[in-house]
Amino acid sequence: MLDLLIQGAPLFFTWQAVLLTAAGIVAGLFIGVLPGLGPLMGIVLMLPVAFHLPPIPAMGMLIAIYVGGSAGGSISAILLRIPGTPLAAATLFDGYPMAQKGRSQDAIGLSIIASSLGGLLAGCVLLFFSPLLAAFALRFGPPEYAAMALFGLLTIAIVSEGSTIKGMVTGAFGLAIATMGTDEFTNAYRFTFGNFNLTSGPHIVPVVVGLFALSEVFVQIEGGDLTASPKIQRLRVSFRALRLILAHKVNLVRSALIGTFMGAIPGAGGDVSAFVSYAVARRLAGPDEGYGEGAEGGVVATEAANNGCCGGALIPALSLGIPGDASTAVLLAALFLLGFFPGPELFQYNADIAGGIFIAYLIGNVVLLIAGIVLVPFFGSVLKLPKAWLLPAVILLSTMGTYALQNSVFDLWVMLVFGAVGYLLRRANYPLPPIIIGMILGSVLENNLRRSLLISRDGLQIFIDRPISATILGMTGVLLVYVVITLIRGAPKAAKDEESSD
Protein backbone atom coordinates (compact mmCIF):
# COMPACT_ATOMS: atom_id res chain seq x y z
CA MET A 1 0.00 0.00 0.00
CA LEU A 2 2.76 2.41 0.96
CA ASP A 3 4.68 1.50 -2.19
CA LEU A 4 1.64 2.42 -4.30
CA LEU A 5 1.43 5.86 -2.69
CA ILE A 6 5.17 6.43 -3.06
CA GLN A 7 5.08 5.49 -6.75
CA GLY A 8 1.97 7.57 -7.42
CA ALA A 9 3.09 10.70 -5.55
CA PRO A 10 5.37 12.11 -8.31
CA LEU A 11 2.55 11.75 -10.86
CA PHE A 12 -0.07 13.46 -8.71
CA PHE A 13 1.86 16.23 -7.00
CA THR A 14 2.22 18.39 -10.08
CA TRP A 15 0.54 21.75 -10.52
CA GLN A 16 -1.72 20.35 -13.26
CA ALA A 17 -3.00 17.32 -11.33
CA VAL A 18 -3.52 19.21 -8.05
CA LEU A 19 -5.24 22.14 -9.78
CA LEU A 20 -7.55 19.92 -11.83
CA THR A 21 -8.46 17.84 -8.79
CA ALA A 22 -9.39 20.98 -6.85
CA ALA A 23 -11.32 22.31 -9.86
CA GLY A 24 -13.07 18.95 -10.16
CA ILE A 25 -14.30 19.19 -6.57
CA VAL A 26 -15.71 22.68 -7.16
CA ALA A 27 -17.29 21.64 -10.47
CA GLY A 28 -18.71 18.50 -8.85
CA LEU A 29 -20.24 20.50 -6.02
CA PHE A 30 -21.73 22.92 -8.56
CA ILE A 31 -23.23 20.10 -10.63
CA GLY A 32 -24.43 18.19 -7.57
CA VAL A 33 -26.20 21.27 -6.20
CA LEU A 34 -28.29 21.67 -9.37
CA PRO A 35 -31.32 19.35 -9.23
CA GLY A 36 -31.38 16.75 -12.01
CA LEU A 37 -27.68 16.78 -12.86
CA GLY A 38 -25.38 14.97 -10.41
CA PRO A 39 -21.86 13.45 -10.53
CA LEU A 40 -22.57 11.17 -13.48
CA MET A 41 -23.54 14.16 -15.62
CA GLY A 42 -20.36 15.99 -14.62
CA ILE A 43 -18.12 13.03 -15.44
CA VAL A 44 -19.87 12.57 -18.78
CA LEU A 45 -19.48 16.23 -19.74
CA MET A 46 -15.77 16.30 -18.87
CA LEU A 47 -14.90 12.91 -20.38
CA PRO A 48 -13.94 14.39 -23.78
CA VAL A 49 -11.68 16.90 -22.00
CA ALA A 50 -10.01 14.14 -19.97
CA PHE A 51 -9.17 12.30 -23.19
CA HIS A 52 -6.66 15.05 -24.06
CA LEU A 53 -4.99 15.19 -20.61
CA PRO A 54 -2.23 13.11 -18.98
CA PRO A 55 -3.60 10.09 -17.09
CA ILE A 56 -3.40 11.26 -13.45
CA PRO A 57 -4.63 14.85 -14.02
CA ALA A 58 -7.48 13.41 -16.09
CA MET A 59 -8.50 10.76 -13.56
CA GLY A 60 -7.97 13.19 -10.66
CA MET A 61 -10.40 15.64 -12.24
CA LEU A 62 -13.04 12.98 -12.98
CA ILE A 63 -12.79 11.33 -9.56
CA ALA A 64 -12.99 14.76 -7.90
CA ILE A 65 -16.20 15.46 -9.83
CA TYR A 66 -17.50 12.10 -8.61
CA VAL A 67 -16.68 12.98 -5.00
CA GLY A 68 -17.89 16.59 -5.16
CA GLY A 69 -21.06 15.74 -7.05
CA SER A 70 -21.98 13.04 -4.55
CA ALA A 71 -21.73 15.59 -1.72
CA GLY A 72 -23.27 18.59 -3.50
CA GLY A 73 -26.76 17.12 -3.82
CA SER A 74 -27.34 17.55 -0.10
CA ILE A 75 -27.25 21.37 -0.37
CA SER A 76 -30.35 21.62 -2.56
CA ALA A 77 -31.99 18.86 -0.49
CA ILE A 78 -31.50 20.90 2.69
CA LEU A 79 -32.45 24.30 1.25
CA LEU A 80 -35.17 23.42 -1.29
CA ARG A 81 -36.35 19.96 -0.24
CA ILE A 82 -35.24 18.86 -3.71
CA PRO A 83 -32.29 16.43 -3.68
CA GLY A 84 -29.72 17.47 -6.26
CA THR A 85 -28.94 13.78 -6.77
CA PRO A 86 -30.65 10.52 -5.77
CA LEU A 87 -27.77 10.06 -3.31
CA ALA A 88 -29.13 12.96 -1.23
CA ALA A 89 -32.73 11.74 -1.06
CA ALA A 90 -32.35 10.38 2.48
CA THR A 91 -30.83 13.70 3.62
CA LEU A 92 -34.29 15.24 3.24
CA PHE A 93 -35.53 13.45 6.37
CA ASP A 94 -33.57 15.66 8.75
CA GLY A 95 -31.70 18.19 6.61
CA TYR A 96 -34.75 20.12 5.46
CA PRO A 97 -36.37 20.19 8.94
CA MET A 98 -33.07 21.60 10.29
CA ALA A 99 -33.26 24.37 7.66
CA GLN A 100 -36.88 25.06 8.60
CA LYS A 101 -35.72 25.61 12.17
CA GLY A 102 -33.20 28.19 11.01
CA ARG A 103 -30.20 25.83 11.12
CA SER A 104 -29.54 25.55 7.39
CA GLN A 105 -25.86 26.51 7.81
CA ASP A 106 -25.36 23.82 10.47
CA ALA A 107 -27.09 21.24 8.31
CA ILE A 108 -25.00 22.07 5.23
CA GLY A 109 -21.80 22.16 7.30
CA LEU A 110 -22.55 18.75 8.82
CA SER A 111 -23.34 17.27 5.41
CA ILE A 112 -20.11 18.54 3.84
CA ILE A 113 -17.90 17.47 6.76
CA ALA A 114 -19.58 14.05 7.02
CA SER A 115 -19.19 13.55 3.28
CA SER A 116 -15.51 14.45 3.39
CA LEU A 117 -14.63 12.32 6.42
CA GLY A 118 -16.77 9.43 5.18
CA GLY A 119 -14.95 9.58 1.87
CA LEU A 120 -11.55 9.60 3.60
CA LEU A 121 -12.47 6.53 5.67
CA ALA A 122 -13.62 4.78 2.51
CA GLY A 123 -10.33 5.81 0.87
CA CYS A 124 -8.38 4.00 3.58
CA VAL A 125 -10.44 0.87 2.97
CA LEU A 126 -9.94 1.30 -0.78
CA LEU A 127 -6.19 1.61 -0.32
CA PHE A 128 -6.06 -1.53 1.82
CA PHE A 129 -8.38 -3.90 -0.05
CA SER A 130 -7.86 -2.96 -3.72
CA PRO A 131 -4.26 -4.27 -3.92
CA LEU A 132 -5.29 -7.45 -2.08
CA LEU A 133 -8.13 -8.09 -4.50
CA ALA A 134 -5.88 -7.29 -7.43
CA ALA A 135 -3.20 -9.69 -6.14
CA PHE A 136 -5.84 -12.41 -5.88
CA ALA A 137 -7.07 -11.57 -9.38
CA LEU A 138 -3.59 -12.29 -10.78
CA ARG A 139 -4.68 -15.92 -10.66
CA PHE A 140 -7.43 -15.13 -13.13
CA GLY A 141 -7.35 -16.45 -16.67
CA PRO A 142 -9.91 -16.11 -19.50
CA PRO A 143 -12.46 -18.44 -17.78
CA GLU A 144 -12.33 -16.39 -14.55
CA TYR A 145 -12.66 -13.08 -16.36
CA ALA A 146 -15.59 -14.39 -18.38
CA ALA A 147 -17.31 -15.65 -15.21
CA MET A 148 -16.65 -12.37 -13.38
CA ALA A 149 -18.01 -10.32 -16.31
CA LEU A 150 -21.16 -12.45 -16.33
CA PHE A 151 -21.58 -11.99 -12.59
CA GLY A 152 -21.07 -8.23 -12.91
CA LEU A 153 -23.54 -7.95 -15.75
CA LEU A 154 -26.22 -9.86 -13.91
CA THR A 155 -25.70 -8.04 -10.63
CA ILE A 156 -25.77 -4.53 -12.09
CA ALA A 157 -28.61 -5.21 -14.49
CA ILE A 158 -30.94 -6.54 -11.81
CA VAL A 159 -30.20 -4.06 -9.03
CA SER A 160 -31.89 -1.27 -10.97
CA GLU A 161 -34.43 1.30 -10.00
CA GLY A 162 -37.93 0.16 -10.90
CA SER A 163 -38.31 -3.21 -12.60
CA THR A 164 -35.83 -6.10 -12.58
CA ILE A 165 -36.91 -7.10 -16.07
CA LYS A 166 -36.44 -3.55 -17.37
CA GLY A 167 -32.94 -3.47 -15.91
CA MET A 168 -32.08 -6.74 -17.65
CA VAL A 169 -33.55 -5.46 -20.92
CA THR A 170 -31.42 -2.32 -20.95
CA GLY A 171 -28.38 -4.38 -19.91
CA ALA A 172 -29.01 -6.66 -22.92
CA PHE A 173 -29.27 -3.56 -25.12
CA GLY A 174 -25.82 -2.52 -23.92
CA LEU A 175 -24.51 -5.99 -24.75
CA ALA A 176 -25.92 -5.68 -28.26
CA ILE A 177 -24.13 -2.36 -28.77
CA ALA A 178 -20.88 -4.00 -27.62
CA THR A 179 -21.09 -6.47 -30.53
CA MET A 180 -20.98 -3.70 -33.16
CA GLY A 181 -17.71 -3.21 -35.03
CA THR A 182 -14.90 -5.53 -36.11
CA ASP A 183 -14.70 -9.06 -34.72
CA GLU A 184 -11.42 -9.34 -32.82
CA PHE A 185 -10.92 -12.99 -33.80
CA THR A 186 -12.02 -13.05 -37.45
CA ASN A 187 -11.74 -9.37 -38.49
CA ALA A 188 -15.27 -9.62 -39.87
CA TYR A 189 -17.56 -6.57 -39.69
CA ARG A 190 -20.61 -6.97 -37.45
CA PHE A 191 -23.67 -4.72 -37.47
CA THR A 192 -21.84 -1.84 -39.16
CA PHE A 193 -24.63 -1.45 -41.77
CA GLY A 194 -22.02 -0.60 -44.39
CA ASN A 195 -20.91 2.51 -42.48
CA PHE A 196 -17.14 2.87 -42.16
CA ASN A 197 -17.57 4.97 -38.98
CA LEU A 198 -18.93 1.90 -37.17
CA THR A 199 -16.05 -0.46 -37.95
CA SER A 200 -14.77 0.09 -34.40
CA GLY A 201 -18.26 0.31 -32.95
CA PRO A 202 -19.85 3.48 -31.60
CA HIS A 203 -17.48 5.46 -29.39
CA ILE A 204 -18.51 5.25 -25.77
CA VAL A 205 -18.26 9.02 -25.15
CA PRO A 206 -21.06 10.16 -27.51
CA VAL A 207 -23.15 7.21 -26.32
CA VAL A 208 -22.74 8.21 -22.66
CA VAL A 209 -23.23 11.95 -23.34
CA GLY A 210 -26.36 11.26 -25.36
CA LEU A 211 -27.90 8.78 -22.93
CA PHE A 212 -27.38 10.85 -19.80
CA ALA A 213 -26.68 14.51 -20.59
CA LEU A 214 -28.85 15.10 -23.66
CA SER A 215 -31.75 12.98 -22.43
CA GLU A 216 -31.70 14.89 -19.13
CA VAL A 217 -31.99 18.15 -21.05
CA PHE A 218 -35.02 16.78 -22.91
CA VAL A 219 -36.63 15.67 -19.63
CA GLN A 220 -36.00 19.04 -17.97
CA ILE A 221 -37.46 20.92 -20.94
CA GLU A 222 -40.53 18.71 -20.88
CA GLY A 223 -40.94 19.36 -17.14
CA GLY A 224 -41.36 23.11 -17.71
CA ASP A 225 -40.74 25.88 -15.13
CA LEU A 226 -37.67 26.93 -17.11
CA THR A 227 -37.72 30.54 -15.92
CA ALA A 228 -38.73 29.98 -12.28
CA SER A 229 -36.18 31.04 -9.63
CA PRO A 230 -36.56 29.51 -6.13
CA LYS A 231 -36.27 31.71 -3.04
CA ILE A 232 -33.17 30.87 -0.95
CA GLN A 233 -32.34 32.33 2.44
CA ARG A 234 -29.03 34.16 2.71
CA LEU A 235 -26.11 31.92 3.69
CA ARG A 236 -22.66 32.63 5.08
CA VAL A 237 -19.56 30.62 5.88
CA SER A 238 -19.82 28.80 9.21
CA PHE A 239 -17.28 26.52 10.88
CA ARG A 240 -19.52 25.64 13.81
CA ALA A 241 -20.31 22.26 12.26
CA LEU A 242 -16.69 21.19 12.85
CA ARG A 243 -17.50 21.16 16.56
CA LEU A 244 -20.94 19.59 16.11
CA ILE A 245 -19.56 16.62 14.15
CA LEU A 246 -17.54 15.43 17.17
CA ALA A 247 -20.75 14.45 18.96
CA HIS A 248 -21.53 11.99 16.14
CA LYS A 249 -18.14 10.35 15.58
CA VAL A 250 -19.41 6.78 16.16
CA ASN A 251 -22.34 7.35 13.81
CA LEU A 252 -19.93 8.84 11.25
CA VAL A 253 -17.54 5.88 11.25
CA ARG A 254 -20.35 3.30 11.23
CA SER A 255 -22.20 5.00 8.37
CA ALA A 256 -19.01 5.42 6.31
CA LEU A 257 -18.24 1.71 6.65
CA ILE A 258 -21.81 0.80 5.69
CA GLY A 259 -21.51 3.04 2.63
CA THR A 260 -18.15 1.52 1.70
CA PHE A 261 -19.51 -2.01 1.97
CA MET A 262 -22.65 -1.20 -0.02
CA GLY A 263 -20.61 0.63 -2.64
CA ALA A 264 -18.36 -2.38 -3.14
CA ILE A 265 -21.42 -4.46 -4.09
CA PRO A 266 -21.92 -3.77 -7.82
CA GLY A 267 -25.21 -2.02 -8.44
CA ALA A 268 -26.18 -1.32 -4.81
CA GLY A 269 -25.47 2.41 -5.13
CA GLY A 270 -25.11 5.34 -2.77
CA ASP A 271 -28.83 5.96 -2.47
CA VAL A 272 -29.34 2.46 -1.05
CA SER A 273 -26.43 2.84 1.38
CA ALA A 274 -27.74 6.22 2.56
CA PHE A 275 -31.15 4.79 3.44
CA VAL A 276 -29.59 1.75 5.14
CA SER A 277 -27.24 3.94 7.19
CA TYR A 278 -30.09 6.25 8.16
CA ALA A 279 -32.23 3.30 9.26
CA VAL A 280 -29.38 1.88 11.39
CA ALA A 281 -28.60 5.28 12.94
CA ARG A 282 -32.25 5.93 13.74
CA ARG A 283 -32.66 2.50 15.31
CA LEU A 284 -29.62 2.96 17.55
CA ALA A 285 -30.41 6.57 18.47
CA GLY A 286 -32.05 7.66 21.69
CA PRO A 287 -35.72 8.73 21.69
CA ASP A 288 -34.77 12.33 22.47
CA GLU A 289 -32.69 12.82 19.29
CA GLY A 290 -35.78 13.51 17.19
CA TYR A 291 -34.96 11.69 13.96
CA GLY A 292 -37.20 12.93 11.17
CA GLU A 293 -37.61 16.30 12.88
CA GLY A 294 -34.18 17.81 12.25
CA ALA A 295 -31.71 15.43 13.94
CA GLU A 296 -28.04 16.18 13.31
CA GLY A 297 -27.26 12.45 13.35
CA GLY A 298 -29.59 11.83 10.43
CA VAL A 299 -27.66 14.23 8.19
CA VAL A 300 -24.32 12.77 9.32
CA ALA A 301 -25.45 9.17 8.67
CA THR A 302 -26.76 9.73 5.16
CA GLU A 303 -23.92 11.92 3.92
CA ALA A 304 -21.11 9.81 5.40
CA ALA A 305 -22.66 6.76 3.73
CA ASN A 306 -23.21 8.19 0.26
CA ASN A 307 -19.66 9.50 -0.04
CA GLY A 308 -18.25 6.38 1.59
CA CYS A 309 -20.01 4.57 -1.21
CA CYS A 310 -17.76 6.35 -3.73
CA GLY A 311 -14.64 4.77 -2.29
CA GLY A 312 -16.39 1.42 -1.99
CA ALA A 313 -17.51 1.48 -5.62
CA LEU A 314 -13.93 2.07 -6.74
CA ILE A 315 -12.73 -1.14 -5.02
CA PRO A 316 -14.20 -3.67 -7.51
CA ALA A 317 -13.77 -1.16 -10.34
CA LEU A 318 -10.00 -0.80 -9.97
CA SER A 319 -9.26 -4.30 -8.64
CA LEU A 320 -11.44 -6.43 -10.90
CA GLY A 321 -12.68 -4.11 -13.63
CA ILE A 322 -16.27 -4.49 -12.37
CA PRO A 323 -17.94 -1.05 -11.95
CA GLY A 324 -19.80 -0.54 -8.71
CA ASP A 325 -22.24 2.00 -10.19
CA ALA A 326 -22.89 4.05 -13.32
CA SER A 327 -20.35 6.73 -12.40
CA THR A 328 -17.55 4.22 -11.88
CA ALA A 329 -18.54 2.59 -15.17
CA VAL A 330 -17.79 5.89 -16.92
CA LEU A 331 -14.58 6.25 -14.88
CA LEU A 332 -13.53 2.83 -16.18
CA ALA A 333 -14.35 4.00 -19.69
CA ALA A 334 -12.03 6.97 -19.08
CA LEU A 335 -9.24 4.61 -17.99
CA PHE A 336 -9.73 2.59 -21.17
CA LEU A 337 -9.60 5.76 -23.27
CA LEU A 338 -6.35 6.76 -21.57
CA GLY A 339 -4.81 3.37 -22.44
CA PHE A 340 -4.96 1.60 -19.07
CA PHE A 341 -6.91 -1.49 -18.09
CA PRO A 342 -8.39 -1.83 -14.59
CA GLY A 343 -7.76 -5.05 -12.71
CA PRO A 344 -4.60 -6.86 -11.64
CA GLU A 345 -2.68 -5.56 -14.66
CA LEU A 346 -3.11 -1.99 -13.41
CA PHE A 347 -1.41 -2.86 -10.10
CA GLN A 348 1.20 -5.13 -11.65
CA TYR A 349 2.37 -3.03 -14.60
CA ASN A 350 1.09 0.48 -13.78
CA ALA A 351 1.38 0.71 -10.00
CA ASP A 352 2.25 4.42 -10.29
CA ILE A 353 -1.05 5.09 -12.06
CA ALA A 354 -3.00 3.15 -9.40
CA GLY A 355 -1.17 5.03 -6.64
CA GLY A 356 -1.84 8.37 -8.31
CA ILE A 357 -5.56 7.55 -8.52
CA PHE A 358 -5.65 6.66 -4.80
CA ILE A 359 -3.91 9.91 -3.87
CA ALA A 360 -6.30 11.89 -6.09
CA TYR A 361 -9.28 10.34 -4.31
CA LEU A 362 -7.86 11.08 -0.84
CA ILE A 363 -6.79 14.64 -1.66
CA GLY A 364 -10.13 15.26 -3.35
CA ASN A 365 -11.94 14.53 -0.09
CA VAL A 366 -9.63 16.90 1.78
CA VAL A 367 -10.35 19.66 -0.76
CA LEU A 368 -14.06 18.87 -0.41
CA LEU A 369 -13.88 19.68 3.31
CA ILE A 370 -12.39 23.11 2.66
CA ALA A 371 -14.18 24.11 -0.55
CA GLY A 372 -17.55 22.81 0.60
CA ILE A 373 -17.62 25.03 3.68
CA VAL A 374 -16.07 28.12 2.11
CA LEU A 375 -18.28 28.10 -1.00
CA VAL A 376 -21.63 27.65 0.78
CA PRO A 377 -22.78 31.23 0.04
CA PHE A 378 -21.90 30.81 -3.64
CA PHE A 379 -23.87 27.58 -4.02
CA GLY A 380 -26.85 29.19 -2.36
CA SER A 381 -26.76 31.80 -5.15
CA VAL A 382 -26.36 29.12 -7.83
CA LEU A 383 -29.66 27.55 -6.80
CA LYS A 384 -31.40 30.79 -7.78
CA LEU A 385 -30.42 30.38 -11.46
CA PRO A 386 -33.34 29.37 -13.72
CA LYS A 387 -33.09 26.26 -15.91
CA ALA A 388 -33.32 28.44 -19.03
CA TRP A 389 -29.75 29.57 -18.33
CA LEU A 390 -28.31 26.19 -17.41
CA LEU A 391 -29.71 23.81 -20.05
CA PRO A 392 -28.20 25.63 -23.07
CA ALA A 393 -24.82 25.47 -21.33
CA VAL A 394 -25.19 21.70 -20.93
CA ILE A 395 -26.06 21.32 -24.63
CA LEU A 396 -23.10 23.49 -25.66
CA LEU A 397 -20.63 21.57 -23.48
CA SER A 398 -21.98 18.23 -24.70
CA THR A 399 -21.70 19.21 -28.36
CA MET A 400 -18.25 20.79 -28.12
CA GLY A 401 -16.81 17.96 -26.03
CA THR A 402 -18.18 15.20 -28.23
CA TYR A 403 -16.99 16.82 -31.46
CA ALA A 404 -13.54 17.64 -30.08
CA LEU A 405 -12.99 13.99 -29.18
CA GLN A 406 -12.37 12.85 -32.78
CA ASN A 407 -13.38 15.93 -34.81
CA SER A 408 -16.22 13.76 -36.09
CA VAL A 409 -19.68 14.92 -37.10
CA PHE A 410 -20.72 11.26 -36.99
CA ASP A 411 -20.12 11.28 -33.21
CA LEU A 412 -22.59 14.16 -32.94
CA TRP A 413 -25.21 12.08 -34.73
CA VAL A 414 -24.49 9.17 -32.38
CA MET A 415 -24.91 11.54 -29.42
CA LEU A 416 -28.23 12.82 -30.81
CA VAL A 417 -29.56 9.31 -31.52
CA PHE A 418 -28.69 8.04 -28.06
CA GLY A 419 -30.09 11.23 -26.55
CA ALA A 420 -33.43 10.38 -28.13
CA VAL A 421 -33.09 6.72 -27.06
CA GLY A 422 -32.29 7.78 -23.49
CA TYR A 423 -35.28 10.14 -23.40
CA LEU A 424 -37.67 7.43 -24.62
CA LEU A 425 -36.28 4.90 -22.13
CA ARG A 426 -36.70 7.41 -19.30
CA ARG A 427 -40.29 8.05 -20.33
CA ALA A 428 -40.91 4.29 -20.12
CA ASN A 429 -39.07 4.09 -16.75
CA TYR A 430 -36.22 1.95 -18.07
CA PRO A 431 -32.90 2.39 -16.20
CA LEU A 432 -30.00 3.73 -18.27
CA PRO A 433 -26.86 2.69 -16.30
CA PRO A 434 -27.07 -1.01 -17.30
CA ILE A 435 -26.58 0.05 -20.94
CA ILE A 436 -23.11 1.43 -20.18
CA ILE A 437 -22.28 -1.57 -18.01
CA GLY A 438 -23.31 -3.87 -20.87
CA MET A 439 -21.14 -1.95 -23.33
CA ILE A 440 -18.06 -2.16 -21.10
CA LEU A 441 -18.43 -5.72 -19.82
CA GLY A 442 -19.91 -7.11 -23.04
CA SER A 443 -16.61 -7.21 -24.90
CA VAL A 444 -14.86 -8.58 -21.78
CA LEU A 445 -17.38 -11.41 -21.57
CA GLU A 446 -17.34 -12.25 -25.28
CA ASN A 447 -13.56 -12.17 -25.80
CA ASN A 448 -12.72 -14.18 -22.69
CA LEU A 449 -15.49 -16.68 -23.34
CA ARG A 450 -14.16 -17.33 -26.82
CA ARG A 451 -10.56 -17.53 -25.58
CA SER A 452 -11.64 -20.02 -22.93
CA LEU A 453 -13.34 -22.22 -25.50
CA LEU A 454 -10.26 -22.09 -27.74
CA ILE A 455 -8.06 -23.17 -24.81
CA SER A 456 -10.44 -25.88 -23.64
CA ARG A 457 -10.58 -29.33 -25.16
CA ASP A 458 -13.82 -30.18 -23.38
CA GLY A 459 -15.98 -27.20 -24.26
CA LEU A 460 -17.62 -25.53 -21.26
CA GLN A 461 -15.98 -28.02 -18.88
CA ILE A 462 -13.09 -25.56 -18.41
CA PHE A 463 -15.32 -23.27 -16.35
CA ILE A 464 -16.10 -26.07 -13.89
CA ASP A 465 -12.62 -27.58 -13.71
CA ARG A 466 -11.07 -24.31 -12.51
CA PRO A 467 -12.00 -23.64 -8.84
CA ILE A 468 -12.20 -19.83 -9.05
CA SER A 469 -14.38 -19.71 -12.16
CA ALA A 470 -16.56 -22.50 -10.75
CA THR A 471 -17.03 -20.52 -7.53
CA ILE A 472 -17.93 -17.34 -9.39
CA LEU A 473 -20.38 -19.21 -11.60
CA GLY A 474 -21.87 -20.79 -8.47
CA MET A 475 -22.41 -17.30 -7.01
CA THR A 476 -23.95 -16.24 -10.32
CA GLY A 477 -26.29 -19.23 -10.19
CA VAL A 478 -27.41 -18.35 -6.66
CA LEU A 479 -28.03 -14.79 -7.75
CA LEU A 480 -30.01 -15.98 -10.77
CA VAL A 481 -32.21 -18.16 -8.56
CA TYR A 482 -32.80 -15.16 -6.30
CA VAL A 483 -33.82 -13.09 -9.33
CA VAL A 484 -36.27 -15.74 -10.54
CA ILE A 485 -37.84 -16.06 -7.08
CA THR A 486 -38.13 -12.27 -6.84
CA LEU A 487 -39.82 -12.11 -10.23
CA ILE A 488 -42.27 -14.89 -9.33
CA ARG A 489 -43.19 -13.26 -6.03
CA GLY A 490 -43.52 -9.85 -7.64
CA ALA A 491 -45.67 -11.01 -10.56
CA PRO A 492 -49.03 -11.00 -8.67
CA LYS A 493 -48.32 -7.53 -7.26
CA ALA A 494 -47.38 -6.19 -10.69
CA ALA A 495 -50.56 -7.64 -12.21
CA LYS A 496 -52.65 -6.12 -9.39
CA ASP A 497 -51.03 -2.71 -9.91
CA GLU A 498 -51.71 -2.92 -13.64
CA GLU A 499 -55.37 -3.78 -13.05
CA SER A 500 -55.78 -0.89 -10.60
CA SER A 501 -54.21 1.53 -13.08
CA ASP A 502 -56.68 0.39 -15.74
Helix 2-12 with 55-80: angle, nearest 10 deg: 90
Burial (0-12, 13-18, 19+ Cβ within 10 Å), 437: buried
Which amino acid is residue 147, in one-letter code? Answer: A
Q: Give the whole-angstrom CA distance, residue 431 versus residue 313.
A: 19
User: Is the Cα dihedral 36, 39, 41, 46 positive or negative?
Assistant: positive
Q: What pLDDT shows up at residue 495?
A: 54
Q: What are phi and psi of 440, to 5 degrees?
A: -75, -50
Q: What is the pLDDT of residue 159?
A: 52
Q: List the beta bridge partners of residue 189.
A: 182
pTM above 0.85, yes or no: no
Query: Residue-wise pLDDT tens for the chain (502 aa)?
Result: 677 788 888 888 888 989 999 999 988 888 877 755 678 778 887 888 888 888 899 999 999 998 888 888 787 777 766 666 666 767 777 787 887 777 777 888 888 888 888 888 888 887 777 777 666 666 777 888 788 778 777 766 555 555 677 878 888 888 888 888 888 778 788 888 888 888 888 877 788 778 877 887 888 788 777 676 556 566 665 677 778 888 888 888 888 888 887 777 655 555 567 777 777 787 777 767 777 777 778 888 888 888 888 887 787 777 777 776 677 878 888 888 888 877 777 877 888 888 888 889 889 999 988 888 788 777 766 666 677 776 787 788 778 767 766 778 888 898 899 989 989 998 888 877 778 778 877 887 888 888 888 888 777 888 888 888 888 888 888 878 877 777 677 656 555 555 554 5
Which of 63, 60, 61, 73 lies closest to 30, judged by CA? 73
Distance CA 290, CA 48 (A): 46
Distance CA 254, CA 374 (A): 27
What element of type H or E holds 180? Answer: none
Euclidean distance between CA atoms 298 and 295, whole angstroms:
5
- Residue spans of the domains in the chain: they are 1-489
